[in-house]
Amino acid sequence: MPNRAVIQSIGMAVADRVMTNDEFEAIIDTTDEWIQTRTGIKERRIAEPGQSSSYFGIRAAKEALERAGKSPEEVEMVVCATVTGDYLFPGTACLIQDAIGAKNAGAYDLGAACAGFIYAAEAAAGMICNGTVQNAVVVGIDTLTHFVDWKDRSTCVLFGDGGGAVFMERQKDTERGIVATVMLADGSGARHIKIALGGSLNPPHSARGEAACGYIYMAGKEVFRFAVRAMADSCSRVLEKAGLTSDDVALFCPHQANLRIITAAADHLGLSMDRVFVNVHKYGNMGAGSIPVALYEAEQQGKLKRGDLVMTVGFGAGLVWGANLIRW
């Protein structure tokens, strides 16, 4: 039997501050009813100034290591999926690696927006299965509310801050682990969701930077249509790749951006909602953090047990999308 990259434990960390829909009624022209009907979100977590992505990533990674019973010195790689790293450089993975004491590990960031955890889990699994490393801590974390325009009602209600981390390691003679992955992209849709300021095209302290917007821009309708297609597309492909059907899936754990997108995808796959994990009402969209937090809570609630087949799927800025089938 070939090597498998098995998720041995999971941790999570979200911002403490809860912001309800009602609070938005005081700052923008909206209602709790509109937000719930259009998105499914009731509340989200908001990071304080100075609570960066590494702040939450460190907490999640420490919990994952503790629950795996591993010492930080044993960790060989830290991969951090984020598009809201503490800095352009150094990488947030390096900050996490240092803070958790993983002094024998490599560390790097991976930016695939809300599909980041899918891409990062596969990147780590590849290194683990081919023998480059024995194990990895894979973090999915974002603090998107630091980048929202609190006056833009079409985006500011959607996001929240936090994420999770898993400890993954090589095992033989097991059915557990990453079973199959698909990863796809369509850069022609890059303009639909972005932060224009701060990269090498529009650097801060430059004429171009002064003209660029530092807030999240999103063409909601285009992204919505893309998201529904992308969820269905990547789930169908990953099941076909593994020679399985949706009947084999114990739990569907999608990126939590919008309840309407999740239910449309579940419908397409013929999955009843009792096999779909949803926590978007509590957290909003946490970028690369949504999927690991959903996996964590599904496990805590007894909806995801060892040996179950779980299908994760994500989509986001790039545009990128993808899905993992994981034997938990």
Identity of residue 37: T
Q: Does 281 bind ligand COA (CB under 6 A)?
A: no
Identity of residue 140: G
- Interface residue with ligand COA among 153, 176, 194, 237 (CB under 6 A) is 153
Indicate which residue of 80, 94, 114, 156 is catalytic.
114
- Whether the Cβ atoms of residue 147 and residue 115 lie closer than 8 Å to each other: no
Which residue, 38 or 241, is less far from ligand COA as judged by CB?
38
Q: Does 225 bind ligand COA (CB under 6 A)?
A: no
Binding mask 44-83 for ligand COA (x = CB under 6 A): ----------------------------------------
Position closest to ligand COA via CB: 220
Q: Where are the beta strands (DSSP E) in 207-308?
A: 217-218, 251-254
Active site residue 255: yes
In 3D space, the residue among 167, 164, 124, 182 whose CA is nearest the CA of residue 3 turns out to be 124
- Interface residue with ligand COA among 17, 32, 36, 38 (CB under 6 A) is 38
Taking CB under 6 A as the binding criterion, the range among 32-40, 65-73, 76-84, 296-304 that sits at the site for ligand COA is: 32-40
Residue 241: half-sphere exposure toward Cβ, Cα within 13 Å: 18
In 3D space, the residue among 178, 192, 175, 183 whose CA is nearest the CA of residue 226 turns out to be 192
Q: Does 316 bind ligand COA (CB under 6 A)?
A: yes
Minimal distance, residue 23 CB to ligand COA, in Å: 12
Indicate which residue of 21, 135, 279, 285 is catalytic.
285
Q: Does 21 bind ligand COA (CB under 6 A)?
A: no
Other CB atoms within 10 Å distance of the CB of residue 187: 9
Minimal distance, residue 309 CB to ligand COA, in Å: 25
Which residue, 101 or 220, is less far from ligand COA as judged by CB?
220
- Interface residue with ligand COA among 7, 64, 81, 257 (CB under 6 A) is 257
In 3D space, the residue among 77, 178, 180 whose CA is nearest the CA of residue 127 turns out to be 77
Active site residue 285: yes
Active site residue 135: no
Number of residues located near ligand COA, criterion CB under 6 A: 22
Minimal distance, residue 70 CB to ligand COA, in Å: 32
Which residue, 28 or 273, is less far from ligand COA as judged by CB?
28
Identity of residue 208: R
- Interface residue with ligand COA among 9, 39, 97, 135 (CB under 6 A) is 39
In what side-by-side order are the strands of the sheet with 77-81?
A: 4-14, 161-171, 135-143, 77-81, 106-110
Other CB atoms within 10 Å distance of the CB of residue 46: 22
Residue 293: half-sphere exposure toward Cβ, Cα within 13 Å: 31
Q: Does 143 bind ligand COA (CB under 6 A)?
A: no
| Distance of alpha carbon 195 from the chain centroid | 18
Q: Where are the beta strands (DSSP E) in the chain?
A: 4-14, 17-20, 43-46, 77-81, 106-110, 135-143, 161-171, 177-185, 193-194, 217-218, 251-254, 309-316, 320-327
Contact residues for ligand COA (CB under 6 A)?
A: 30, 34-35, 38-39, 114, 153-154, 157, 193, 218, 220-221, 223-224, 227, 257-258, 261, 285, 315-316
Residues known to be catalytic: 114, 255, 285
